[in-house]
Amino acid sequence: MTFLHQYPKAAKVAKANFIVAFIALAIGGLFGFIQALHRTDVFRGFFNSGEYYTLLTGHGVLLALIFTTFFIAGLFVWGVTRSLDREPENMTFTWSWFWLMTIGLIMTAVTILGGLVPDSSIRAAVLYTFYPPLQAHPAFYIGLALVIVASWMAGADWFWSYNKWRKNHPDERIPILTFMALFTMMMWYVCTIGVAVEVVGLLIPWSLGWVTEIEPLLPRTLFWYFGHAVVYFWLLPAYYVWYAILPKLSGGRLFSDAMTRIVFVIFLLLSTPVGYHHQYADPGISVGFKFYAMATTMLLLLPSLMTLFTVVASMEHGARQRGGKGYLKWIGKLPWDSPAFVGCALAGIMFAAGGFSGMINASMNINLLIHNTIWVPGHFHLTVGTAVALTFMAISYWLIPQLTGRKLKFKTLALIQPYAWFLGMTLMSNAMHRAGLAGVPRRTAEPQYSGFEFEPIFGTMAEMDWQIAIGGTILTISLILFLWVITASWMGGEKSDRPVDDYIPEPLSGAEHTPKILDNMKLWFALAIILVLLAYSFPLWEMISDGIFEPGALPR
């Protein structure tokens, strides 16, 4: 029996979420392809500068905000249902958050795409960071607000299931798949308050014309209050897969239950009070608070290094179960012919590289060297663009069969896909990092920096631009392979009662060795709030004390 037969209602919800996620991935990916080509003189003619920003907004919103959120919702529905062994409590409620989120997404997407219609007044070329002075049609912000509210409801749905389960299991530890989902959602509640206040309190009134002036610093600060934690909202579900499923795919078991819980607790505590590291160059925030944010950001390396240790130890255990020997030779015994495993493993390797460039971004002084250059997209295509996106694609090869009751088709194409993504991203991201060091800005529709076409381009900016274009093309091919394999398997894969081996073994060191205090959600949630208040109350007070909409206000 597979998930579909055991929990048919939850399977339907998870599938609906995955369909929306994959459509967003397809459209957003297409825009990425156009952006990458746009960096060469040869393919620049198709879209003008105004349209470039429409596409760039669509790319960022559809991939970083929509693809991720819907995929995560599907993944958590799967994990919470399975680990608590109960279907969602009330299907009307469950479907209502799904549809609310979808309506919000459609409103947002339509306002963005309106920018491609000549003379349309419905526009939202405000990029996925959407803070002033760029202004969008009100429907863009209202759509975003609906998505956020719906995601809160989704979280409430999982807490609801957990509370019901708790009544019948008063003394048991929170099952690990539910633990990770609930801690991720607690972090999401803490951080989305900032963006909700920004959108509802400032941007919607401003876009409707109820207020005409707006201070730039306050909405930026509220956005970045959310904007770093959101990266952990994307990343923790990838960790979810690496902790819960990857050890099994490697042929072994999770190394330590305790390490897993500790890591999620640290992320809940430290993800939010770090937002100023996106504002090192902003005037109006005292340097001491920026320093505090730098310190907490650097502390966040700790749970990621712990993850590296635990996940690699689990993989090594798996490889040794499969007959692996030696200090490093065991790596060869890992299942390098399994698409789900390969995608997760390569995603993890790229994440390590993303961690290094992230340390540079986080350093107050070196940050100035790369601030707002194309280095930054170089960095986050390794993190969200690969560690997260490639993990999500890879684990779909394992999840979708469980949800549809059909076997995966075209295994060879599925296996080529993650390797192609790795290759394309190596080219694109490396060139972006190099170009950024040379001072090339990000988010520019006019990217030409030196001669093109018939001149030798090696060693010039044009060479890096071409590498971005070629890397982007390989990525697009990889994306098409993914969508093709998934669609074909979903529609026409061979039907089976057990299309994949979905058994997940117990950890090597189980919950009985894990301190009980780690499961105390109220305690950790309260501590998270205190850390946020320490970081944000004084600077926010300085910003609003002279009037909330007062433009240009600086601390005295």
Q: Which residues are catalytic?
A: 228, 232, 379-381, 442-443
- To ligand HEM, the closest distance from the beta carbon of 167 in angstroms equals 38
Q: Per CB under 5 A, which of residues 8..67 are in contact with Cu ion? A: none
- To ligand HEM, the closest distance from the beta carbon of 128 in angstroms equals 5
- The reply on whether position 476 binds ligand HEM by CB under 6 A is yes
Residues 6+ apart with CB under 8 A from 322: 251, 333, 334, 335
Smaller CB separation from ligand HEM, 115 or 472:
472
Task: Rule CB under 6 A: choose which of 344, 384, 485, 511 binds ligand HEM.
Answer: 384
Stretch that binds ligand HEM, among 54-62, 134-142, 334-342, 505-513 (CB under 6 A): 54-62
What span, in angstroms and rounded, lies between the C-alpha atoms of 88 and 242?
25
Task: Using CB positions, name the residue nearest to ligand HEM.
Answer: 32
239 sits in the region (left: phi over 0; alpha: psi -120 to 50; else beta) called: alpha
Task: Rule CB under 6 A: choose which of 4, 24, 27, 63 binds ligand HEM.
Answer: 63
Residue 395's nearest CA partner among 263, 251, 244, 267 is 244
Burial of 303 (C-beta count, 10 Å sphere; 0-12/13-18/19+): buried
Residue 108's nearest CA partner among 60, 153, 142, 157 is 142
Beta bridge partners of 373: 441
- Helix (H) / strand (E) containing 281: none
What span, in angstroms and rounded, lies between the C-alpha atoms of 553 and 7?
55
Residue 248 tokens, joined: 């099994």
Phi then psi for 495, rounded to 5 degrees?
A: -75, 140
Smaller CB separation from ligand HEM, 53 or 330:
53
Three-point CA angle 281, 286, 287, nearest 5°: 65
Whether the CB-CB separation of 248 and 87 falls below 8 Å is answered with no
Q: Per CB under 6 A, which of residues 340..359 are in contact with ligand HEM? A: none
Cis-peptide, bond into residue 133, ω within 30° of zero: yes
Count residues near ligand HEM (CB under 6 A): 27
Stretch that binds ligand HEM, among 41-49, 185-193, 373-381, 536-544 (CB under 6 A): 373-381
Residue 375's nearest CA partner among 441, 421, 425 is 441
Q: Per CB under 5 A, which of residues 195..234 are in contact with Cu ion? A: 228
Smaller CB separation from ligand HEM, 59 or 123:
59
Smaller CB separation from ligand HEM, 260 or 476:
476
Task: Rule CB under 6 A: choose which of 173, 407, 411, 443 binds ligand HEM.
Answer: 443
Stretch that binds ligand HEM, among 206-214, 438-446, 503-511, 519-527 (CB under 6 A): 438-446
- Helix (H) / strand (E) containing 554: none
Count residues near Cu ion (CB under 5 A): 1
- The reply on whether position 379 binds Cu ion by CB under 5 A is no
* Contact footprint for Cu ion (CB under 5 A): 228
* Contact footprint for ligand HEM (CB under 6 A): 29, 32-33, 35-36, 56, 59-60, 63-64, 67, 127-128, 374, 377, 381, 384-385, 389, 442-444, 468, 472, 475-476, 479
